[in-house]
Amino acid sequence: MISLIVAMTRKGLIGKDNDLPWNYPEDLQYFKKTTLNKTVAMGEKTFLSIYNRNQKPLPKRKNVVFTFDKDFKCEGVEVSHDLHKYLQEYKGDDLFIIGGREIYREALPYCKYLYITFIEKEYEGNVYFPKVNFDNYKIINEEKLGELTFTVFERR
């Protein structure tokens, strides 16, 4: 099963200068709880922003990085140079697409579930989630916590 997980404002903002525009520990905990022991797949830019913060890939998860760079190497990370081939042929356990914008846009058609944390406040930034027609999805779970709304959508 392929899913996507993202935090965004209601205007679709997801990033600022290759980082997150906000700091919500509750959302990081939700992200961890949801993806732990699963496969997480990300673009090279998102990987670098995680790696620079933690000095390592995401622990206790199989990390897959998409890049066109044939020389890209990192210990503990699987590399794919072809996102579409990887997702078309994927037969493993639960896989979460974890960003960023470019990878969300390309992977969206493959995702059955969208785990979206809506941030009920506006922030400054320059990276937006691709346009989604939410008519094609139904909400199967929704929980509110302070400024956050944890929502799970299932493709109809």
Residue ranges that bind ligand NAP, judged by CB under 6 A: 6-8, 14-15, 18-20, 42-46, 49, 66-69, 81-83, 98-103, 106, 127
- Give least dist CB 44 to ligand NAP, A: 3
Of 17 and 156, which CB lies nearer to ligand NAP in the complex structure?
17
Of 69 and 122, which CB lies nearer to ligand NAP in the complex structure?
69
- Give least dist CB 20 to ligand NAP, A: 5
Of 23 and 133, which CB lies nearer to ligand NAP in the complex structure?
23
Closest CA to 117 of 89, 93, 149, 146: 149
- Give least dist CB 30 to ligand NAP, A: 11
- Give least dist CB 47 to ligand NAP, A: 7
- What is the DSSP-derived secondary structure letter of residue 113? E
Of 69 and 143, which CB lies nearer to ligand NAP in the complex structure?
69
Of 57 and 100, which CB lies nearer to ligand NAP in the complex structure?
100
- Give least dist CB 83 to ligand NAP, A: 4
Half-sphere exposure of 153 (CA within 13 A, CB side): 19
